[in-house]
Amino acid sequence: MTESAKRVAQQAEDRLEKVAENARKRFDRLAAGSLTDKIKNGRFADQVDHGVDQARREARRREQGGSER
């Protein structure tokens, strides 16, 4: 291979490594909070369910020994 071809190949490999690294980082961010956890924490609760969710949060705080409002 000529020097210019080697340089182009190296640049392409470096770019692909960056793309793979970015994809891994994004996947890790997405996988960090699973859908089940979000549902359990009331992320998708309707406005009507807000009082129920508040009671659940307060019960969790009491169980964990945290402070109440």
Structure tokens at 23: 């994809």
- What's the predicted TM-score (pTM) here? 0.44
Run of H or E including 53: helix 50-64
- Residue 60's SS3 state is helix
Q: What is the mean pLDDT of residues 5-26?
A: 95
**Greatest C-alpha distance within the chain:** 71
Task: Supply the mean pLDDT for the chain.
Answer: 80
pLDDT digits (tens, 9 = 90+) for 34-60: 767 777 777 666 655 556 677 888 888
Run of H or E including 24: helix 3-32
What's the CA angle centered on 43, arms 41 and 44, to 5 degrees? 125
